[in-house]
Structure 1
């Protein structure tokens, strides 16, 4: 449906509210009202600042004003707790000004237990929640009463949920809501939609793009004004923190009304905040926000930002989505964005208005990131977004959902199978997979059914199943959700307050007296007591460590990678690059060759009696890590004595004791490397064990929390590894092992992307045998030490300074041996 649908009458209080501000509803807001009057679901795509959220709620407000009622009318589901709080703030005032008989509340993991219980007895008209809290509410026996009168579900930032495990859980819960409240309308809101057909199918009650979901286009807003910082400082060849440019970033913050400074990892947030605070001679109010900080600290920052009291906030993806802070007039992205859609979301936080362009500054941390930033800006200019194909729903999520439904009441397997297949991620779910998930929830499967712990269901004479005991239901409710964080410890000041959390892995490597940065403060580690990392405040010149957060690195999108290759191939694009980057590429072209859109450039060169292979794949860190493992396994069999490998988002580097000729390289990059080599490696690697732990936590095989206590990360890992070994030995086809392999192939190893790359480059390898390192290979060699393999040869990690490598790569003499071999 276009955004010029005919107007629908507004109730007088709502019409007066618009008139009092001198506003008229936008065409797409009228269209949402018209669609609701027809009882249809809708997917609204509108630019940031275009009133998407108000458009989603207008039909609800109009109906409740015209026909006041008690009970739950509309569920609003958001991917972030902070977003529910923000929407609550932004709706409360208009509702009060209209004197509308509308009650609204939030329901998240932070909501006190007493309030949660009262909401079940007396639900508000509008409930703002998250996927996890919705799943929890549906697990209670009174869910049918709570949701019986539900009329609509509004899902904000739909693109951030669809295609994820959280989205799988939400899709299953929407299928249950459709049973509890037949005909409930579904509304999806998003500013960035690459594949509207897929999202429309996700929203549909049938799980298919069947035309039932109206598509409403809110038009295009002003193009954002995006600048890529050309630093006056020396632009590094490698590194990810962009510390060199933070003086210039501080100048931009000082010149702005309010700046939101985005980074890609929590560790980077700590470093950037600390450096900005060191530079803050003007004592500007600058804050820090990321998911490991204490809830109270995050809420304090959000409230101060809403009041316009801060000049800057350093944040991770914890503030990516939807937050409406009108005072922000500049968004800064530190480091490459990794995806076009993600960058647009972040840029949209500035000038949250339809009549003003958002203003953003991209700050590349190194030379490759300059190319990535340029590719992202070009994509935004041409209106192209990242988009991945729809994926099948996770079997571990399905197992969790089955248990949740059995907690709510008796479950008939046939009826539940029919129900879950109306959720788009499970539209093609095989009955065998469903039955295996159900059997796991019932008794654990063949290898585990003798343990009482896994007998969680009991059935009646009608063949219906319900949860066996109250403790089983309690365990489910304590562990509901699909977000699996690395094991963490609370960071607590000795005899003081809790500051947040750090990963257990990081804390275990600290010794008494070590210092680290957290929450913008220098802290001294004292000891670990139970699940608490005790600290004191530290002062002095000691170089601090920084908390490490596993999995914090965002993957480079396929779309952005293709655009980077395009920039490298087209020399006309180089004219607009900063001089150091253009010169870097020029020397690379003279010394070897420059990667392009087609084929694969592979270089070899000797260095300090070690032989290097560098492949310019541009397929992201996960795919490169997998390819590195596979190459070194094959090299071992070929007698080439591999020593190790390292992968960045752009390049893969492998080193060995013996040299590789062109025939070796062609054999290494054959597509069949994803066959037996991959199966053997995955079976032997720790990756599957780590993945199984995550799958087990989601599926309910392992509890992170049990009534009255919480397990440590060590206990959870130990439990999961024992069960993993038992299942591999006695039941290798167990549904959770299948789910583990599925997840590892789709995410951590990025096998599909790797397969596409190998298919694309068959017969198109460009092999250059060089006498010394090339300029584009320098960054990947500076990463050496991150990953190793152990083979026949002794591991020989190089600890070279960047200056030495750069000098060698840019040496002026031209040697005939540096020319490529035909």
Structure 2
């Protein structure tokens, strides 16, 4: 008799490869045998995916099921934040399943899955279904979901850190509650390599937040990562910019040395730009690919397959390949620009080698001097094993509204039973009955301001207190429009023969005319025509124009911001920096002062007939943008004639016609209680937030049978409804949801509040005769971003060299 809980089929498979099951893999099997939920935290390359699926593989071993035969129906769900990850997991699971000879069918389901296969999966499901939170929610909206999931045994949630704290996590939490109701014996499993607070994720994973119901399994430690910061060989570290184009020749040399190099960028625009620059120097015509979320499914699959087969020497990618993708032949990972967080960097570094016992090698390529400090801070955090991440917050009411509608599409429901089910998820455990009633009334009528319109009447309560759909057509409309990710409206780029290359944002497409050229998907294209939701193109000669995308910026984590500020006041530590960076900091220290963890430095100086004030906040771009809006408004009120502002993650520069003699009144905490409210009410922020919650909640539908609304049409519809609700129903549940988004996600209001609360005690105002060294990186951005209009309508373009020359002159006193 086999004394190990590992079935002989699996034990022999391990032995045949000269491997041993790792301790954490066996611990996950033990948790399953003990009928426990489990959270596995293990380094990249530690075999987390196999650990998560080990109990499933064991259940399908002939030695375990014997004459009774293998389990029937859907046994295990695997939920991934990325389509690419689900497909990669399928590839990596099929091989061991086939080699072990297990009777296990594995399939994927996402927005890219053909409709006929989706339909078949509901009537004849595989044993293992790999999917995303959105596709799972849609499956739960069908009446046959109760039959489909009734015998579900396990759900494996991969890379839980990537989405549990956001709205996709809210949707998944609600789906988990529904699945648990349908299949009470289902056990939940979550996997991650980068959790800063495992206890919080244990509570999120558990039904009713019962931490004791979830085993915490910690993986074996892997080899420490080898992280280097790439520096210019002959030039100096740039003052400004994020693209790090200076590094292209050195990066190409790195590609030539390696078998495969994976190059990460923080935006789709930068991915296209870096890819183009690499091809400009690719004299050896090495196979270099590009991957981002706006490329067509065919283009992404082609690149993923080529990487899996080892056919590419380099791949430029965005966060579309951040998570879990297992390509063992990657020699080096390159991060272009600042990493913005140690956990994100660890995740990306882990794509190199992807083996626990081999060190992953990574290069960080800073675009400017502050990014060098941030890269150094991130490297230190990785070396010390320190992780960061977002904290949990109450679940979104717009997401709850979408889930309620999904439940109604599946079957009539009793409201208190559904409320109990919803409250079993940590995201909604504190949901009170008043808020629940408001959500129900919204789904039922749209709210009292909209209830006169039949199209908003989606569910109705009968005399027995049961809620049901008012018409079956609402189920189809829900399934066409449900989802959490609300991107800007996209137009498809395709050749005349119909072949699709991917998508560009509508606002970029609107700027194009026939004959214009742009680079996309690694090709130079000429616009032939714009037709409906398509941009028809043909091959063209080289073009320098690249599509711009309005996606949200990656936020600088508080953890890295604190580390950078600590570096600035650690004068002894400056000795390890390159000469030009060290001289930059030393000159700043001599001429002005240094911002630090407990000091808010504000500098004022004249330049080019304008008066400038620079605030060193380290609160991230979103918070600094909000602060800039508020400060310029206060300056207007005080007659200081502001001209505009520009922000980066580290600082905010505001200019005007008159000097700011005392910045303290501009930074008083009551700015958030009064001006912030007024500003958000009247700004695009709340309208944009409302547009998103209106789409997520189902109030505004983007898709109709045979037709899709343009972004302009969606914006017009949501703006119209927003104006009605603000006037007649300002306490509408979606106005509340939009406020929550505008305050938290779009403006980082919590970080801004902490900054302002401490400003009175920690403010140091330094008046200078000219620009300071530390101000140069933000000053060189002026004129290179669209600027808000103020009392002075002025767009100045500063050259870095002239600014730096003024800043670094030793005779420039205070």
Q: Same fold judged by TM-score > 0.5?
A: yes
Cα distance in 2 between the residues matched to 1:112 and 1:794: 55
Asked if 1 retains the 8 angstrom alpha-carbon contact of 2:644 and 2:792, the reply is no
Residue 85 of structure 1 aligns with which residue? 87
Aligned counterpart for 2:191 among listed residues 158, 183, 189: 189
Quote the Cα distance in structure 2 between the aligned partners of 1:553 and 1:520. Answer: 23
> Is the 8 Å Cα contact of residues 265 and 552 (structure 1) preserved in structure 2?
no
Q: For the residues of structure 1 that align with 2:604 and 2:794, how far apart are their CA atoms?
A: 18
Q: Is the 8 A contact 2:22 2:220 kept in 1?
A: no
Q: Assess if the C-alpha contact under 8 Å between 2:56 and 2:76 holds in 1.
A: yes
Which digits, 9 at most, give the CA deviation of each residue in 1:410-464, with x for residues without a partner? Answer: 1111111111111111111122111111111011001000001100013333211
Shift of 1:687: 1.0
Aligned-pair CA distance for 1:118: 1.0
8 Å contact kept, 2:599–2:764 = yes
| Contact 2:641–2:792 under 8 Å retained in 1 | no
Cα RMSD between the aligned structures?
A: 1.4
1:7–1:31 Cα contact (<8 Å) kept:
no
Residue 41 (1) aligns with residue 41 (2): no
1:11 equivalent to 2:12? Answer no
Shift of residue 656, structure 1, vs aligned partner: 1.1
Other-structure match for 1:28 = 24
1: distance between equivalents of 2:756 and 2:335? 32
Which secondary structure state, in structure 1, belongs to the residue aligned with residue 692 of structure 2?
helix
Alpha carbons 1:489, 1:532 under 8 Å: kept = yes
Deviations 1:194-230 (A, max 9, x none): 0111100111011x24311000111321110000002
Q: Distance in 2 between matches of 1:484 and 1:776?
A: 37
Q: 1:54 aligns with which of 35, 50, 53?
A: 50
User: CA offset at residue 576 of structure 1?
Assistant: 1.1
Counterpart secondary structure, 1:752: helix
Q: Give the 5 Å matches for 1:592-671.
A: 592-662=592-662, 665-671=663-669
How does 1:70-81 map onto structure 2 within 5 Å? Answer: 70-81=72-83
Q: How far is 1:707 from its partner?
A: 1.6
- 1:645/1:787 contact within 8 Å kept: no
Find the aligned partners of 1:252 and 1:239 in 2 and give their Cα distance.
Answer: 22
Report the Cα offset of residue 535 of structure 1.
Answer: 2.2
User: Which residue does the alignment assign to 1:708?
Assistant: 706
CA displacement at 1:496 relative to structure 2:
4.8
User: What are the equivalent positions in structure 2 for 1:405-416 lying under 5 Å apart?
Assistant: 405-416=407-418
Specify the alignment match of 2:100 in structure 1.
98
Displacement after TM superposition at 1:704 (Å): 1.1
Matches within 5 A, 1:79-478: 79-206=81-208, 208-232=209-233, 233-478=235-480
Residue 804 of structure 1 and its aligned partner are, at CA, apart by 2.0
> Contact 1:234–1:244 at 8 Å: present in 2 too?
no
Superposed CA offset, 1:109-154 (max 9, x none): 1111111111111111111111111001000001000000001100
| 8 Å CA contact retained: 1:8, 1:33 | no
1 CA distance for matches of 2:134 and 2:227?
Answer: 36
Aligned partners of 1:599 and 1:762 also within 8 Å: no
User: Counterparts of 1:457 and 1:650 in 2: how far apart (Å)?
Assistant: 49
Kindly state the Cα deviation for residue 587 of structure 1 after the two structures are TM-superposed. Answer: 1.6
CA distance in 2, matches of 1:747, 1:552: 10
1:558 and 2:554 matched: no
Partners of 2:8 and 2:695 in 1: how far apart? 51
- Partner SS state of residue 653, structure 2: strand
Give, in angstroms, the shift of residue 514 of structure 1: 2.7
> Residue 501 of structure 2 corresponds to which residue in structure 1?
499
Q: 1:730 aligns with which of 713, 728, 738?
A: 728
Question: Paired residues, what number?
Answer: 805
TM-score if structure 1 supplies the norm length? 0.96
State the 1:813 CA deviation.
Answer: 2.1
For 1:761 and 1:53, how far apart are their aligned partners in 2?
47
Structure 1 counterpart SS, 2:769 = coil
Following superposition, the deviation at residue 47 of structure 1 comes to 0.7
**Does the Cα contact within 8 Å between 1:474 and 1:707 map onto a contact in 2?**
no
Looking at structure 2, the residues matched to 552 and 691 of structure 1 have their Cα atoms a distance apart, in angstroms, of: 12
Q: 5+ residue gaps in structure 1?
A: 1-5
User: C-alpha offsets along residues 291-322 of structure 1, whole Å, 9 cap, x if unaligned?
Assistant: 00010000000001001111110000000000
SS, match of residue 763 in structure 1: helix
Q: Which moved more, 1:681-690 or 1:493-502?
A: 493-502
For 2:3 and 2:207, the matched residues in 1 are separated by 27
* Matched position secondary structure for 2:503: strand
Higher mean alpha-carbon deviation, 470-479 vs 258-267, is at 470-479
Rounded Cα–Cα distance in structure 2 between residues aligned with 1:362 and 1:788: 30
Contact 1:8 1:30 in 2 (8 A): no
C-alpha distance in 1 between matches for 2:552 and 2:762: 34
Deviates more, 1:622-631 or 1:760-769: 760-769
Offset of residue 64 of structure 1: 2.2
Contact 2:587–2:810 (CA under 8 A) maintained in structure 1: no
Q: Quick check: 2:337–2:371 contact (8 Å CA) kept in 1?
A: yes
Aligned to 1:745: 743
Q: Which residue of 1 aligns with 2:812?
A: 814
**SS of the residue 1:491 aligns to:** strand
- How far is the alpha carbon of 1:7 from its aligned partner? 7.8
- Residue in 1 that maps onto 2:766: 768
Equivalent-residue separation in structure 2 for 1:150 and 1:499 (angstroms) = 38
Find the residue that maps to 1:748 and give its secondary structure: coil
Whole-angstrom distance in 2 between the partners of 1:545 and 1:497: 22
Does the Cα contact within 8 Å between 2:651 and 2:778 map onto a contact in 1? yes
Deviation at 1:788, TM superposition (A): 3.6
Match of 1:545 in 2: 545
Q: CA deviation at 1:741?
A: 0.2
Partner of 2:491: 489
- Matching of residue 757 in structure 1 with residue 759 in structure 2: no
CA contact (8 A) 2:642 2:792 kept: no
Q: Report if the CA contact (8 A) 1:293-1:519 is conserved.
A: yes
- Cα distance, 1:185 vs structure 2: 0.3
- Between 365-374 and 227-236, the greater mean CA deviation after superposition: 227-236
1:64 equivalent to 2:60? Answer: yes
Residue of structure 2 equivalent to 1:569: 569
List per-residue Cα deviations over 1:553-573 (Å, max 9, x = no partner): 211111110001011110122
Residues 100 and 681 of structure 1: CA distance in aligned 2, closer, same or farther (over 3 Å)? same
Partners of 2:359 and 2:46 in 1: CA distance:
12
After TM superposition, give the deviation of residue 803 of structure 1 in Å.
2.2
Secondary structure at the aligned position of 1:762 is classed as: helix
Offset of 1:485 from its aligned partner? 0.6
4+ residue runs over 4 A deviation:
none
Mapped to 2, the partners of 1:500 and 1:721 lie a distance apart of 29
Q: Where does residue 801 of structure 1 map in the other structure?
A: 799
Which secondary structure does the structure 2 equivalent of 1:163 belong to? coil
Please say if residues 327 and 351 of structure 1, whose CA atoms lie closer than 8 Å, have aligned partners that are also in contact: yes
Matching residue within 680, 683, 704 for 1:682: 680
Contact 2:656 2:792 in 1 (8 A): no
SS of residue in 1 equivalent to 2:527: strand
Q: Distance in 2 between matches of 1:628 and 1:7?
A: 66
CA drift at 1:787: 4.7
| Counterpart-to-counterpart distance in 1, 2:308 and 2:451 | 53
CA distance in 2, matches of 1:330, 1:465: 56
